[in-house]
Amino acid sequence: MLTIVAMVRVGPWTLEGIYRVPKSEPMEACKRCRRSIREVWVFRVDEGYDLAKLDGQPVWRIGSECGPHLEEVNAEIWKQQMKPVTARLALVKRLEAVLKTADAKGYTLLPTFFAERLQPLREGTLDIHLMRHTGGCMAQYERALGLKPPVRARR
C-alpha cells in the first residue's frame, strides 16, 4: 500500500469530485488501501510528474478516509514547497515597484545592485543571502518613495 505522503511527493493532487456509489451497485475498492467504499474521492496528480510510483495512473479513486487525508497532506506539503517561490515573487514585485517609482519621480539615489539583481531574482538564480539583503535594503527606499508608511516612533 502506497502511503499518502509518498503519493503527495510524486506531485500536487487535484480533487476532481466526490461521488456516491448507489446501494444498487457493488461497492468499489479504494485504490490506495483496498477497503470497500461507497463514497469515492477522485483525485488527479498534476501533469508533468513521474507516475512510476503510482503505477502510471494519474487518476486515483479513493475512499472517504484516504481522500480527506490526501487533501490535507497535499495542501500542507505543497504550501511548504511553494514558500520560497512565493517569497521570491513578492520580492520581485517590491523591487519592480521601487525601480518604477524611482524612475517616475526622477529619484537617482537607488543602489545600482537593485537593477542588477532584478533579472536573477525573476529567474530564481539569486542567492538567498542576496535576496534577504535586497529586501532589507529596499525597506528604506520604499519609505522614501512613499511605497510604505514611515516608521512611527515608539513611546
Is the pLDDT at 57 greater than 80? The verdict is yes
What is the three-class DSSP state of 151? Answer: coil
Is the pLDDT at 80 greater than 90? The verdict is no
What is the residue extent of each domain of the chain? 4-64, 83-144
Residues in the chain: 155
- The residues with which 61 forms a beta bridge, in sequence order, are 42
The C-alpha cell that represents 58 in the structure block: 494519474
Side-chain-facing half-sphere of 132: CA atoms under 13 Å: 4
pLDDT at 155: 72
- Give the global pTM: 0.59
Neighbours of 137 (CB within 10 A): 16
What is the rounded distance in angstroms from the CA atom of residue 61 to the CA atom of residue 42? 5
pLDDT at 83: 87
pLDDT band at 21 (very low <50, low <70, confident <90, very high): very high
**pLDDT per residue over 94-114, tens digit each?**
999 999 999 999 988 899 999
| Beta strands, E only, the chain | 13-20, 28-29, 36-37, 39-45, 59-62
pLDDT band at 152 (very low <50, low <70, confident <90, very high): confident
